[in-house]
Structure 1
Amino acid sequence: MSAEHKPKPLPFVANFAAGAIAGISEILTFYPLDVVKTRMQLDTGKSQGLVGTLSSIVKQEGVGRLYRGLVPPLLLEAPKRAVKFAANDFWGKHYVDWSGESKMTQSLSILTGCSAGATESVVVVPFELVKIKLQDKASTFKGPMDVVKQVIQKQGVLGLYAGMESTFWRHFWWNGGYFGCIFTVKGMLPKPKTSKDELFNNFVSGAVGGLCGTMLNTPFDVVKSRIQGAERIPGVKPKYNWTYPAIATMLREEGFASLYKGFIPKVLRLAPGGGVLLLVVEFTLGVFRQVLGPPYI
């Protein structure tokens, strides 16, 4: 391959499919940690910790409870991850063109990730709300459709978008940290000489990106869980409504540590999960390139 040759960018459908396959792979592997994380975030008292919360769920509610609420995120993961990587590809190309740079830079990578997160957040809100309602220990809903039915009956269709603003900030900061760190870590790692080296670099950079993204966005995730998990009572102002005022309320009433409730199960899921995600995406895109042949190789 000559120095001037660059593979043609893959079509949108390839990025969409790669993101979808990666998302489903990640969620099937790590979902129980998400249930534990949500329980810890909704608990306004003293946290039992990861092990205590996990053992409490298993002892009191059974192992099956660790998979309660799986259907909404499973249905969501394909479009969500697909939108994430397709949007990242879309914004990345446009920001490079608009900036006049010849290639992606660190600042453009962060801006691209944040923009992809903002785009992704619009898709996920109703699914996240249903998932949180089902994961709550006090949940009496029969299933996903029962949540949708009751929310619409009580609050109208817009009720499904409760927590939209907090979801925006959660995805904005996670994606900025994730894609920004991937760019930096890949630049620090030795240039891959074999396909195994490339897979290793993708996993490491994805895992570090997942860790950085999780550190940045956990307070916003906690607030989102509180907003979406709360029962909406007509005429009564919710305690948690907007992201930054809610963060201030939690700092005042529960202290700084409350903003990182559920951090351990969240990072245990999203750090290796971020590695798995990028690994599967890059592998799938590589398969597409081989199938489509020149000029995509």
Structure 2
Amino acid sequence: MATEQKKPLPFIATFAAGAIAGVSEILTFYPLDVVKTRMQLETGKSKYGLVGSFKTIIAEEGIGRLYRGLVPPLLLEAPKRAVKFAANDFWGKTYLSLSGETKMTQQLSILTGCSAGATESFVVVPFELVKIKLQDKTSTFAGPVDVLKKVVKKEGLLGLYVGMESTFWRHFWWNGGFFGSIYQVRALLPKAETPQAQLMNNFISGSVGGFVGTALNTPFDVVKSRIQGSTKVPGVIPKYNWTYPALVTIFREEGPAALYKGFVPKVLRLAPGGGVLLLVVEFTLGVFRKALGPPYI
């Protein structure tokens, strides 16, 4: 984010930029997330592709269903994105200090991204659980509060953290791919001579990062959706419980393609979404730098 010559922006600026970027991204791409979840919850061979899923949801449930479950991610996006970029900034500085390097390297970028994703995952789980429960086609919950009440009543407060381990791995791999790719792509792009060119470079590197992160983490996202979408039956061991055994189960029963269910809507959201995310973050940080003046510029 900041160059070596600039004084690092205060935490509140990084927090606000991440929050603004996250809300902008989710309002733009949320329907793709609903379709992605539906495809991932479907066991066996997929009946519908991306377009078919959109058509089926609209025809059978109405266009409003494409925004069902929007409240939890909206409430989550501000702290989630803020934690993502603040954690990335924190871990980046920490690893630079520990390694003795003066500039970020690709290896440190990947390590930093993975650490930021792991940190972020602890904030995400309850919101993701509520969202998945509402997005499921068979959902009978009245809304987010109803989900919270029924889950806590049935499973206790820890019930809100079902899928914690799979969420950890989903964010670990996505952030590692996202931030690691951003570093590499930025190094390959021509140096931006104008603010417009800099914004374009940010969008391109963010989009590539979003694609790579999605390619790496989709199998973990499929498992997370299955774990959080299932209903616990007393005395019965859940079919999907731990991440890596669940990956093997899905691979064995449904084939390797099942591990990438929902990949198309997911990548259509997170590739340009990653671009929008980085674009808005960098733009917002630039506004803060100008407002604060030297030595932040």
TM-score band by shorter chain is over 0.9
Letter in 1 for 2:221: D
| Per-residue deviation, 1:234 | 1.3
Q: CA deviation at 1:233?
A: 1.1
Length-normalised TM-score, structure 2: 0.98
Distance 1:235 1:149 in 2: 22
- Aligned counterparts of 1:271 and 1:145: Cα–Cα separation in 2: 31
1:102-117 matches, cutoff 5 A? 102-117=102-117
Cα distance in 2 between the residues matched to 1:259 and 1:222: 6
Aligned counterpart, 1:15: 14
| Secondary structure of the structure 2 residue equivalent to 1:231 | coil
Secondary structure at the counterpart of residue 132 of structure 1: helix
Partner of residue 284, structure 1: 284
Structure 1, unmatched stretches of 5+, are none
| Distance in 1 separating the partners of 2:6 and 2:70 | 38
Give the corresponding residue for 1:50.
50
Aligned equivalents of 1:157, 1:233: Cα separation in 2: 17
Q: Aligned letter for 1:204?
A: I
1:189 aligns with 2:165: no
The one-letter amino acid paired with 1:34 is: D
Which aligned runs of 4 or more in structure 1 are off by greater than 2 angstroms? none
Q: How far apart are residue 26 of structure 1 and its match?
A: 0.1
Q: How does 1:88-103 map to 2 (within 5 A)?
A: 88-103=88-103
Q: Secondary structure at the match of 1:109?
A: helix
Q: Partners in 1 of 2:77 and 2:8 — Cα distance?
A: 24
1:156 corresponds to: 156
- 1:138 paired residue number: 138
Q: Structure 1's 5 and 243: CA in aligned 2 closer, same or farther, altered over 3 A?
A: closer
The Cα shift of 1:5 comes to: 7.1
CA shift digits 1:203-237 (9 cap, x unpaired)? 00000000000000000000000000000111110
Aligned-residue offset at 1:45: 2.8
SS in 1 for 2:142: coil
Q: 1:58 is matched by which residue type in structure 2?
A: I
Tell me the C-alpha RMSD between the 2 structures: 0.9
Match of 1:265 in 2: 265
**Displacement of 1:58 after TM fit?**
0.3
**Corresponding residue SS for 1:101:** coil
Give identity over the alignment, percent: 77
CA distance in 1, matches of 2:4, 2:86: 23
Q: Distance in 2 between matches of 1:19 and 1:232?
A: 35
Say which SS state the counterpart of residue 129 (structure 1) adopts. helix
* CA distance in 2: counterparts of 1:266 and 1:197, whole angstroms: 27
TM-fit CA distance, 1:93: 0.7
User: 1:46 deviation in Å?
Assistant: 2.0
Contact 2:88 2:112 in 1 (8 A): yes
Could you tell me how far apart the structure 2 residues matched to 1:210 and 1:192 are?
21
Q: Note if contact 2:45-2:254 (Cα within 8 Å) is conserved in structure 1.
A: no
Q: Distance in 2 between matches of 1:31 and 1:22?
A: 14
Post-superposition Cα deviations, 1:91-143, rounded to whole Å, max 9, x if no partner, equal 00110111000110000000000000000000000000000000000000000
Name the residue aligned to 2:202. Answer: 202
Q: 1:72-103 CA distances to partner (integer Å, 9 max, x unpaired)?
A: 00000000000000000000011011100011
Distance 2:247 2:208 in 1: 26
Q: Is the 8 A contact 2:129 2:160 kept in 1?
A: yes
What is the distance in 2 between the residues matched to 1:184 and 1:26?
23
TM-score (norm 1): 0.98
Q: CA deviation at 1:195?
A: 0.3
Structure-2 change in CA distance of 1:206 and 1:65 (3 Å): same
Q: How many residues align?
A: 294
Q: Gapped runs of 5+ residues in structure 2?
A: none
What is the alpha-carbon distance in structure 2 between the residues aligned to residue 258 and residue 286 of structure 1? 42
CA distance in 2, matches of 1:166, 1:5: 36
Q: Is the 8 A contact 2:87 2:119 kept in 1?
A: yes
